[in-house]
């Protein structure tokens, strides 16, 4: 399952369990 996080107009695709710094 992928989670898409919109930040500052940018999209980051992270896997479950990954941490965005």
Q: Give the tens place of pLDDT for each residue, 1-21.
A: 456 666 666 666 666 666 666
Residue 2: its pLDDT value, please?
Answer: 58
Residue 11: its pLDDT value, please?
Answer: 63
Taking the complete model, does pTM exceed 0.85, yes or no? no
Residue 12 backbone dihedrals phi, psi, to 5 degrees: -115, 125
| Residues 17, 3 contacting (CB under 8 angstroms) | no
DSSP class of 20: -
Q: Output the six-digit token pair for 4.
A: 């898409």
Residue 1: its pLDDT value, please?
Answer: 46
């Amino acid at each position: 399952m992928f989670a898409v996080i919109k930040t500052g107009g940018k999209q980051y695709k992270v896997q479950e369990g990954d941490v965005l710094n």
